[in-house]
Structure 1
Amino acid sequence: MPELEPESELPPGVFHRVRPGQTLWRIARTYGVELESLVEANSILDPSRIVTGDMIWIPGARDTVEVGVHVPEGAAAAGEWIWPVRNGVVLSGFGAPRRSHRHGGLDIKGFAGQPVVAARSGRVVYAGAGLRGYGKTVILDHSDGIRSLYAHNSALLVRVGERVDQGQSIARIGRTGNATTEHCHFEIRVNDRRVDPSRWLSPARRAAR
């Protein structure tokens, strides 16, 4: 009778059940693992689209831990996302149909010259007006495959290479580029792919139709 090979041990890890308001970034941070590790271990295509009740495999963890939930604007801890325009109203949401494409971000209404703030701490990797249609634009890198973009500004307050804190003013609202009214076009990109910013932020008001 052939000798059976011993069963290989499962790699250490635990399953974490997603609770309302939790983000994959916050789960990774709490367990002390890289966001990319969770994305790969769970074959996640869009880190912004985890759903309440999902079971997330945490490689290397030995016990489940309590993970905080997203905190609304004005009380967010460092590392969470806040709205780039204070008391802004969403004019156009992510995925809204346009003539030749679908909207890749949020258009947030504000008044001319109103501060646009960093939604999360990061490093300025672009500050200029060379992106077609975007007007004066700032792009921040958040060191975890995630970038945020702020477009159509009237003035830019930061330079490439500068480190900025969450809530710091980085630009002023305008209507440069392809814009018909003063607003901030806000995008979040994960590995250069646009994702729905509203899934990363607290609920917002929408303009009346």
Structure 2
Amino acid sequence: MRKESIIRIGLLNAIVALLSLSLIACSSDKAGSSKASAGSYSGSVYTVKRGDTLYRISRMTGSSVGTLARMNGISAPYTLEVGQKIRVKSSSGSSSSKKTAVAKSSKTRSSAGTSVAKVAPPPVGSKCWRWPTTGKIIEPFSNSEGGNKGIDIAGSRGQPIYASAAGTVVYVGDQLRGYGNLVMIKHSEDYITAYAHNDTTLVNNGQKVSAGQKIATMGSTGSNTVNLHFQIRYRATAIDPQRYLPPQGSKPSC
């Protein structure tokens, strides 16, 4: 799949970083789908099985998504084929030794095997956010390992989904299992928001959107229930949306 020419390299990097860093909160298990059996792994070669993703392989081998993509000549969105052979270590050392070195560093290893510096959450009110939709919070944010890295908002099919702030659409697609139709918006060098399980999407990659603009409708793609899974990322780190959003039903004061 070719990259859209209208998207700058910086925006593509933002997409890859977000996909590799965290969009695992709304996993296939949470969506009610069963996990596929792991592919075979022998020495420096991994054989792709049904349901595998480059992210999942990076988790099992300790190599980052970016490293695996470069070593195997795989371009975003990193589509794999059953039976495909993936090299999982380079001549500079085994994936296990790299993983150990990262674990001993002063940085936090992300879920994709890359390292990102720890960042303090931004102060409340540092950016103006709007609710992307209205409804009951059926699953709140959790900062624990494997926890929900966003909030899940229940609603009805076709309910409008709005951009939480002005920005540029950096991803529209359904390549991530468990997220269905997904939209991601970059708001600055520091912030990205994600909107998952959409029934329909109304924006395109590279499109500028304003705060409160309708970008999608609520659905159940990648989920067993109609809901919106919403994330706010600050410097690639998930933050609790409810800390930064105004009271539901009210307009932001900023």
Tell me the TM-score normalised to structure 1 length: 0.58
Q: Distance in 1 between matches of 2:248 and 2:213?
A: 20
CA contact (8 A) 1:115 1:171 kept: yes
RMSD: 2.4
Tell me the TM-score normalised to structure 2 length: 0.48
- 1:204 offset after TM fit, Å? 4.1
Partner of 1:120: 165
1:93 aligns with 2:140: yes
Q: Distance in 2 between matches of 1:80 and 1:110?
A: 24
Q: Which runs of 4+ in 1 moved over 2 A?
A: 44-48
- 1:110 offset after TM fit, Å? 1.2
Paired AA for residue 182 in structure 1: V
Partner of 1:198: 242
CA contact (8 A) 1:89 1:204 kept: no
Partner of 1:16: none
Equivalence map 1:7-156=2 (5 Å): 45-48=119-122, 50=123, 80-85=128-133, 87-95=134-142, 101-156=146-201
- 1:142 offset after TM fit, Å? 0.5
Kindly provide the CA deviation profile for residues 170-194 of structure 1, in whole angstroms up to 9, marking residues without a partner as x: 01100011x2211100000111111
Partner of 1:19: none
Q: Distance in 1 between matches of 2:186 and 2:174?
A: 18
Gaps of 5+ in 2: 1-117, 250-254
More helix per residue: 2
Kindly provide the CA deviation profile for residues 118-163 of structure 1, in whole angstroms up to 9, marking residues without a partner as x: 0000000000101121110000000231000000001110000000
Counting aligned pairs with the same residue, the percent is: 40
Q: Distance in 2 between matches of 1:116 and 1:153?
A: 8
Q: Distance in 2 between matches of 1:110 and 1:140?
A: 21
Gaps of 5+ in 1: 1-43, 52-68, 71-78
Paired AA for residue 192 in structure 1: A
Q: Distance in 2 between matches of 1:200 and 1:47?
A: 11
Kindly provide the CA deviation profile for residues 88-142 of structure 1, in whole angstroms up to 9, marking residues without a partner as x: 2111100187xx8201100011110011000000000000101121110000000
CA contact (8 A) 2:149 2:231 kept: yes
Paired AA for residue 83 in structure 1: W
Q: Distance in 2 between matches of 1:88 and 1:120?
A: 19
More strand per residue: 1
Q: Distance in 2 between matches of 1:102 and 1:204?
A: 23
CA contact (8 A) 1:118 1:169 kept: yes
Paired AA for residue 136 in structure 2: V
Aligned equivalent of 2:224, options 161, 180, 205? 180
Q: Distance in 2 between matches of 1:153 and 1:200?
A: 23
For residue 198 of structure 1, give the secondary structure of its aligned residue in structure 2. helix
Paired AA for residue 131 in structure 1: L
Matched length: 133
Larger Rg: 1
